[in-house]
Amino acid sequence: MSFLTNSQLDKDSFLRSLQDCNNLDTLQGWVFHDGMHFSDSCQWWNKTKKRLHPHEGVDLVYYLNNTGKQHFFPPGTLIPAITDGIVVHDHQDFLGQTLYIQHEQFQQNSKTLYSLYAHIAINDKLPERVTKHSHLGVIAEVSDSSPVPPHLHLSMAWIDNLLKINTINWNNIADHESICLLDPMNFITGSPQRMQHFLVCK
């Protein structure tokens, strides 16, 4: 069993990386609305509607700057990796591309930790091995007719080492017996004590 310590995956490091690679003012934190969190059932862009599946990750849409003002991450926002890893898979959906990063340094019960970044335009010069300072891509533009505003969807998962990663997509990920989706909030906020709980599958 492996634990993510502060030095390996600091609770604020993803926010700080977003801040640094996009030359933003000091970010005070994330802003979440109903429907953005892991397992939420409603749509945050249309609160009267339900999602087809409980949310498979977290949607990063807004942040607070150093004056406490709320801003959104616009299309073109550079996306850093949550920690070091290997680029292993990608696919396209109606809001952009999804990129899969394998974090082989974290193993549990024949499963490996992965991070997934969706609704992005992938950096076409991305090397196979990335660090937490790599630019994976940018938040994708969406068409004027899209009901969903641009944003970054982040999923974290334990995935069985025997599963072929290129068979995974958003239609089969939620109910896959070889995949344990995790709440990404445990990777981007919270205390080190809370981080120990991220290892437990639902």
Q: How far is the CB of 3 from Zn ion (least distance, A)?
A: 26
Which lies closer to Zn ion via its Cβ, residue 120 or residue 159?
A: 120
Q: What is the CA radius of gyration of the chain?
A: 16
Rounded Cα–Cα distance for residues 97 and 99 (Å)? 7
- Under the binding rule (CB under 5 A), the answer on residue 153 touching Zn ion is yes
Q: How far is the CB of 93 from Zn ion (least distance, A)?
A: 11
**How would you class 127 by CB atoms within 10 Å of its CB: exposed for 0-12, middle for 13-18, buried for 19 or more?**
exposed
Which lies closer to Zn ion via its Cβ, residue 38 or residue 158?
A: 38
Which stretches does DSSP call E strand in 29-162?
A: 29-31, 58-60, 62-64, 70-72, 78-80, 85-93, 96-108, 111-122, 129-130, 135-139, 152-160
Site string for Zn ion, 46-75 (x = CB under 5 A): -------------x----------------
Which lies closer to Zn ion via its Cβ, residue 59 or residue 183?
A: 59
Which lies closer to Zn ion via its Cβ, residue 111 or residue 153?
A: 153
Which lies closer to Zn ion via its Cβ, residue 132 or residue 170?
A: 170
Rounded Cα–Cα distance for residues 3 and 196 (Å)? 6
C-beta separation of 116 from 57 below 8 A: yes
- Under the binding rule (CB under 5 A), the answer on residue 119 touching Zn ion is no
Q: Which stretch binds Zn ion (CB under 5 A): 97-105, 150-158, 175-183, 190-198?
A: 150-158
Rounded Cα–Cα distance for residues 154 and 183 (Å)? 10
Q: How far is the CB of 71 from Zn ion (least distance, A)?
A: 19
Tokens of 61: 């849409």
Q: How far is the CB of 7 from Zn ion (least distance, A)?
A: 29
Q: How far is the CB of 44 from Zn ion (least distance, A)?
A: 9
Q: Which residue is nearest to Zn ion (CB)?
A: 153
The residues binding Zn ion (CB under 5 A) are 59, 153
